[in-house]
Amino acid sequence: MIDFYFETETGAKRLPWATLCERCGIDFYMPTTWELVMIRDQLAEREGVSADQIEIRQNGLAIL
């Protein structure tokens, strides 16, 4: 399971990959590392945080 973790002014947020796929209207699949980096950057811009503040975890372990 892949999750995006980050801190905002209102507290910590966790966004599971499955939820992100559902919100975007795409079928669940295993993303490439390049896709994860691009999504992290877009998520950082949308949430107003630095991309370095977003940690991508797989099965609870940080991968990016």
List pLDDT tens digits, range 10-47.
Answer: 888 899 999 988 988 889 889 999 999 999 999 899 88
Q: What is the CA radius of gyration of the chain?
A: 11
Q: Is the pTM of this model over 0.85?
A: no
In this structure, how many other beta carbons lie within 10 angstroms of the beta carbon of residue 4? 22
Phi then psi for 37, rounded to 5 degrees? Answer: -65, -45
Q: Where are the domains of the chain?
A: 20-52
Spatial CB neighbours of 14, under 8 Å, sequence gap ≥ 6: 3, 4, 5
Position 51 scores a pLDDT of 92
Q: Residue 56 pLDDT > 90, yes or no?
A: yes
Position 8 scores a pLDDT of 79
Q: Residue 1 pLDDT > 90, yes or no?
A: no
Position 52 scores a pLDDT of 92
